[in-house]
Amino acid sequence: MSKKKILITGGAGFIGSHTAVALINAGYQPVIVDNFSNAEPSVLEAIEKITGTSVKCYNLDCCDAKNLNLLLQKEGSFDGVIHFAAFKAVGESVQEPIKYYKNNLSSLWEILELMDKSNTTKIVFSSSCTVYGQPDSLPVTEASPIKEAESPYAYTKQVGEQILTDRVKNGGMQGILLRYFNPIGAHPSSLIGELPQGIPNNLMPFITQTAKGIRKELSIFGDDYDTPDGTCIRDYIHVMDLAEAHVKALQYMEDNPETAIDHFNIGTGNGYSVLECLNAFERANNVKVPYQIAPKRAGDITQIWADTEKANRLLDWKASRTLEEAMRDAWNWEQKLSQ
């Protein structure tokens, strides 16, 4: 039987590359589309090395309808799409909102049009826990209210969910929205991992780069939040656990053709503060990371972590890797990178 062919937009990026590995491990054939705006072509070789399988990749922008049509002519229909391609930095989105609205929304509707043209009926959409805004009660469940978005990035995810929901309700398409919490870590081979360009926006690569001496010190954004140690709390999930959730989401749509649209929290169910994360990194790797307390960052919410019961039950998926494992994998990956 031929392998099911899955289009992964943004498939050379951090979560996309790990998902490509998880798909190959599960017997799927990924086809990657990436414009390499935030990824390196060397990732493709690394995926091949890990899996022993060659991966087809198209260097194109998902906002570019003309090139997507060429892709369609070459590839025809897909058994599913996983749509990662998007800008993802909360802080940057506050500084450059139009860039975020333009890219994140137009890429989504171009992909939906491509799906319609090619009779591709299943899509997994990268959503985010930021759709919940600052929740009233924790942990957040999928039934928690969608609050006012705290950043343009978060708003692109709220609107993206709505666009996809409206399209799916129109018939002939199934969609799963995965609301990611905070992905960290790297593949245990240290062949793929997070590759931020320039100064990292996210906590984990900033920690690893500071531990390596590339950055002088970590700035902790705020220590007077209403949390036990005053720093923000997030649900940090190993990127391989997150990657495997995408495979489960595809399988769920295959096994439940009556499912039109559904959403799932993809986290661990545990919240850790920035200081706790830093301590866990230092303990797991026996290294010191200098830090200072800095002003709060615009767009940050105080605390959030996931109720994952729905994903555990319906997707038959549960995060299995520990925070320490993620910290070790992230550090091993950083150490393998040339400066």
List residues with catalytic annotation: 153
Between 61 and 329, CB nearer to ligand UDP:
329
Q: How far is the CB of 222 from ligand UDP (least distance, A)?
A: 7
Tokens 């830090």, residue? 291
Q: How far is the CB of 45 from ligand UDP (least distance, A)?
A: 27
Between 4 and 234, CB nearer to ligand UDP:
234
Cβ contacts of residue 22 below 8 Å, gap of 6+?
A: 240, 243, 244, 246, 247
For CA atoms 321, 322, 328, 334, give the dihedral sign.
positive
Between 107 and 231, CB nearer to ligand UDP:
231
Q: How far is the CB of 291 from ligand UDP (least distance, A)?
A: 9
Angle at 43 between CA 17 and CA 283, to 5 degrees: 70
For residue 239, give the amino acid letter. V
Q: How far is the CB of 181 from ligand UDP (least distance, A)?
A: 8
Contact 202, 194 (CB under 8 A): yes
Phi and psi at residue 132, in whole multiples of 5°? -80, -10
Coil vs helix vs strand at 239: helix
Between 53 and 201, CB nearer to ligand UDP:
201
Q: Does the N-terminal peptide bond of residue 145 adopt cis geometry, omega within 30 degrees of 0?
A: no
Contact 268, 236 (CB under 8 A): yes
Q: How far is the CB of 225 from ligand UDP (least distance, A)?
A: 8
Between 48 and 92, CB nearer to ligand UDP:
92
Between 107 and 130, CB nearer to ligand UDP:
130
* Side-by-side strand order, sheet with 122-128: 56-59, 29-34, 5-9, 80-83, 122-128, 174-180, 261-266
For CA atoms 63, 65, 69, 72, give the dihedral sign.
positive
For 308, the token pair is 């994952």
Q: How far is the CB of 300 from ligand UDP (least distance, A)?
A: 5
For residue 205, give the amino acid letter. P
Binding site for ligand UDP (CB under 6 A): 90, 182, 201-203, 206, 218-221, 232, 234, 274, 297, 300
